[in-house]
């Protein structure tokens, strides 16, 4: 993707994170997020707790990524903080499906 000036933009809107993130919602549903676009959808439509500082920051980072101003991996880290803030169980998956599990750590 190139900008009007011909410089390469930071984001490719079809970009995926190097490792997906799985979150377990209160409904028992597991969501697998593979990109900032997936994260934005989860943060604004399926998020169990609204109004968190990290939630808003992650939403802002997702929007900045869409505008080409934020690297996808930075958005990923902001999303993980928002998930922890919301008390969600997350799994930071490796490519083979094994990963480190983070279950409601004390902050």
Rounded to two decimals, what is the model's pTM? Answer: 0.74
| Angstrom distances, CA of residue 40 to CA of 30, 32, 43, 101, 107 | 16, 13, 5, 22, 24
> Is the separation of the CB atoms in 52 and 85 below 8 Å?
yes
- Best CA proximity match to 54, nearest among 23, 30, 75, 25: 75
Radius of gyration of the CA atoms of the chain, in A: 14
CA distance 85 to 69: 24
87 pLDDT tier (thresholds 50, 70, 90): very high
Q: What is the pLDDT of residues 17-39, one digit of tens each?
A: 989 999 988 788 889 999 999 99
Q: What is the pLDDT of residues 56-66, one digit of tens each?
A: 999 999 999 99
């Amino acid at each position: 993707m190139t900008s009007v000036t011909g410089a390469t933009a930071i984001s490719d809107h079809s970009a995926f994170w190097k490792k997906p993130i799985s979150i377990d919602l209160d409904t028992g549903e597991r969501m697998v997020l593979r990109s900032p676009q997936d994260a934005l959808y989860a943060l604004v439509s399926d998020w169990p707790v609204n109004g968190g500082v990290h939630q808003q920051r992650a939403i802002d980072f997702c929007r900045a990524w869409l505008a080409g101003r934020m690297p996808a991996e930075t958005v990923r880290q902001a999303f993980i903080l928002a998930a922890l803030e919301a008390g969600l169980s997350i799994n930071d998956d490796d490519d083979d499906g094994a990963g480190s599990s983070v279950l409601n750590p004390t902050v």
